[in-house]
Amino acid sequence: MKAVSIILFLTIALFASDNKDIMRAQILEKIILNISINETITVWSDNKELLAGFRKSNHLIISDICDKATVIIIENKKELNDDTCKNKPIFVLNYNLLKEVPKSFGAFFWKKGRPNIVIIESRIKSQNISVSKELNAYIEEKVW
């Protein structure tokens, strides 16, 4: 009985984790599709599960290296070691990274079990990024 309970718990935990990754990829895809940077958007991320989710999309162009991307999505600041990557529009997956990475224009993160989206108005203006009306509700004046 104990073994069955452990297997059931692990199965549920794995399923919940997969759903969260799929949901995160879908939300980020909608965000990326609702921004404009005056060129074709090609996405690179340091999160391999996220890239796998993006590859299932018919709407996004994915790059395996950050040099060829036009938008970078990072989860870890250490992955931004290349100067060419640091100068591209960056979307982060952690609110604290929004403070630490000055080129980041927005963040998507989970807080209290809910997804949160933040887009910094001054940063999108300085990087000539325009957002659709669907994202206007997530625009903030500054990083808190």
Tokens at 50, concatenated = 């996220």
Instruction: Report pLDDT for 80.
Output: 77
What's the whole-model pTM score? 0.82
Quick one: which of 26, 28, 36 has its CA closest to 89? 36
pLDDT tens-place string over residues 120-140:
999 999 999 999 999 999 999
Contact 35, 129 (CB under 8 A): yes
Report the alpha-carbon distance of residue 13 to residue 7 in Å, rounded: 10
Report the alpha-carbon distance of residue 92 to residue 15 in Å, rounded: 25
pLDDT tens-place string over residues 72-122:
999 988 877 777 788 899 999 999 999 999 889 999 998 888 889 999 999
> Could you give all domains of the chain from N- to C-terminal order, each with its CATH number?
2-140 (3.40.50)
Collect all residues with Cβ–Cβ distance below 8 Å to 135 and sequence separation of at least 6.
Answer: 31, 34, 35, 117, 119
Contact 106, 118 (CB under 8 A): yes
